[in-house]
Chain A
């Protein structure tokens, strides 16, 4: 009894989340010998982030790849994946994504009718300004900065001293362009795909947190599959973690090269700036570690990572 699963996601086809979906489709169809097939509906066709989150929960959409932050109000432990400054680089992200600590958090979603098969990445977040390049914490002070709507980000950026400004994503480009906003915290691939390089004056590689996405399947749907099909899905989800995350890293390199060609300055923060940022984030990290032991466990594990570059 072969099964076809409908997977909806909210981004365009150039985005790493779409890449995750494509890799999963390829892997699961190969491993299951076509017993499990996946139909991808990209670009919000089946709904935006919130609708897809609810859709998989209710079973009106079989599967999705969707930002982890969309689930943070459902299970606060999920904020662990984006604790500011916790994971140093893409290699570290792979380690954490495959860790038992991550699995423990993901399993919580089963309480909400969803099975999280894995967690992938949408890109490390940096700081793009439309004014002067930012080279110190002082430079960031008071900048009207678009922050994705999430409590933890708001707390983190307030601690840094920027003026965190929630804004509908569709208005951000114009707002940056006209100066309604001074800055945006964003991943490099979006600077490319959303053409932010047309308006950005400088990018500072602050790398505060990743933008992870869960690969989710409705629990009832998953339970209705044969053990072989379930195993194929789990295996496919596991084997694509590293190649997917490394592909994002590679994409970042390409975008950096492109920014260089366009003459947009890319600032690598000094050690002093990094230390200032970490110090600003520290109390917020502590505050969120205290919310749930799973966050504390995840954070402790992340602290043991050593940057791959060293």
Chain B
């Protein structure tokens, strides 16, 4: 299990690294092509947008485990241990229900839009839209493992107390 988990984390990190690098490279290339070469790229903007959707999908689970999804913990922290645990389980179940709905309807949506094509890249929009399903599935796995089974919490969590707000 832990070997499998490490491989999964490594794969996610590699994808995120390559993805951000690609966005940086193409973003600079887009400026260079238009301003220096006088020949604008027509695919770059679409490529970056859709790649970012996939980075979010792949990274969201780990992001959750690293404590980037901030909530209002004031009230819960004041509860006794047992009650707090119950509140966390209820919260986790609500999250899993929500993510389940996203997965179910995300599949329906992706399938229903398969005949749309990405204008510049030419591939079926199914491959873009299905990213939300992958993201919700990975999040669900992380939420279930962290909150229901108490495993797979990233050791880096303490260093990442701040959450998504960190970027503001």
User: Closest residue of chain A to B40, judged by CB?
Assistant: A165
Contact across chains for B42 and A142 when beta carbons are under 8 A apart: no
Produce 1/0 per residue, B43-79, CB < 8 A to A. Answer: 0011000000000000000000000000000000000
Q: Is B83 an interface residue (CB 8 A)?
A: no
Residues of A within 8 A of B154 (CB): none
Q: Is the CB of B117 within 8 A of A73?
A: yes
Within A29-64, which residues are at the interface with B (CB < 8 Å)? 54, 57-58
Task: Tell me if A151 and B38 are in contact (CB < 8 A).
Answer: no
CB contacts under 8 Å to B, within A162-180, are 163-168, 180
Nearest Cβ distance between residue B147 and chain A, in whole angstroms?
Answer: 32
User: A74 at interface (Cβ–Cβ under 8 A)?
Assistant: yes
Instruction: Count chain B CB atoms within 10 A of each CB in A144, A164, A165 and give the residue with the most.
Output: A165
Query: Is A166 a contact partner of B45 (Cβ separation < 8 A)?
Result: yes
The answer to the question of A268 belonging to the interface, with a C-beta cut-off of 8 Å to chain B, is no
A73 and B38 in contact (CB under 8 A), knowing A149-B46, A166-B45? no
Q: Counting CB contacts under 8 A, is B84 at the interface?
A: no
Does A163 lie within 8 Å of B40, measured CB to CB? yes
> Which residue on chain B has the smallest CB distance to residue A142?
B38
For B118, the chain A residues whose CB sits under 8 A away are 73
Find residues 5-40 in chain B having any chain A CB closer than 8 Å to their own CB.
34, 38-40
Partner of A73, one of B45, B109, B119: B119
Known interface pairs A73-B117, A149-B119, A149-B120; A163-B38 also in contact (CB < 8 Å): yes
| Partner pick for A164 among B40, B46, B112, B116, CB 8 A cutoff | B40
Q: Give, as a whole number of angstroms, the nearest-CB distance from A124 to chain B.
A: 23
Chain A interfacial residues counted at CB < 8 A: 19
Q: Shortest Cβ distance from A269 into chain B, in angstroms?
A: 24
Assuming the contacts A58-B112, A166-B42, A166-B45, asked whether A151 and B119 have C-beta atoms less than 8 A apart, the reply is yes
B residues less than 8 Å from A150 (CB atoms):
119
- In angstroms, Cα B155 to Cα A172, docked, is 44
Given contacts A57-B112, A112-B115, contact A166 B38 (CB under 8 A): no
CB atoms of A163 and B34 under 8 A apart: yes
Distance of B126 from chain A, by nearest CB (Å): 13
Per the bound structure, the CA–CA distance linking A260 and B40 in Å amounts to 33
Does residue B113 face the partner (Cβ distance < 8 Å to A)? yes
Name the residue among B42, B117, B118 with the largest chain A CB count within 10 angstroms.
B42
Q: What DSSP secondary structure best describes chain B's contact surface? A: loop
A132 to B45, CA, bound (A): 28
A144-B34, A144-B40, A149-B46 known; A166 vs B112 contact (CB < 8 Å): no
Query: Within A133-170, which residues are at the interface with B (CB < 8 Å)?
Result: 142, 144, 149-151, 154, 163-168
Write the chain A residue with the least CB distance to B37: A163
User: A180: which B residues are within 8 A, CB to CB?
Assistant: 34
Instruction: Enumerate chain B residues within 8 angstroms of A54, measured Cβ to Cβ.
Output: 109, 112-113, 116
Q: Find out whether the CB atom of A168 lies under 8 angstroms from the CB atom of B45.
A: yes
Cβ A165 vs Cβ B46 within 8 A: no
Q: Find out whether the CB atom of A74 lies under 8 angstroms from the CB atom of B116.
A: yes
Question: Which residue of B has the minimal Cβ distance to A181?
Answer: B34
Write out, one digit per residue, whether chain A residues 92-128 have a CB within 8 A of any chain B CB (1) or not (0). Answer: 0000000000000000000010000000000000000
Chain B min CB distance to A230 (Å): 24
- When distances are taken between beta carbons in the complex, the residues of chain B under 8 Å from A149 are 46, 119-120
B70-113: CB near A (< 8 Å → 1, else 0) gives 00000000000000000000000000000000000000010011
Look across to chain B and name the residue whose beta carbon is closest to the beta carbon of A145. Answer: B40
What's the Cα separation between A135 and B42 when bound, in Å? 26
Chain A residues contacting B39 (CB-CB under 8 Å) are 163
Interface string of B116-133 (1 = CB under 8 A from A): 111110000000000000
- 18 A-B pairs within 8 Å (CB atoms) are namely A54-B109, A54-B113, A58-B112, A73-B116, A73-B117, A73-B119, A149-B119, A154-B42, A163-B34, A163-B40, A165-B34, A165-B40, A166-B42, A166-B45, A166-B120, A167-B45, A168-B45, A180-B34
Residues of chain A having any CB pair with chain B under 8 Å:
54, 57-58, 73-74, 112, 142, 144, 149-151, 154, 163-168, 180
Top 5 A-B residue pairs of the complex, sorted by shortest distance between their CB atoms: A165-B40, A73-B117, A149-B119, A166-B42, A73-B116
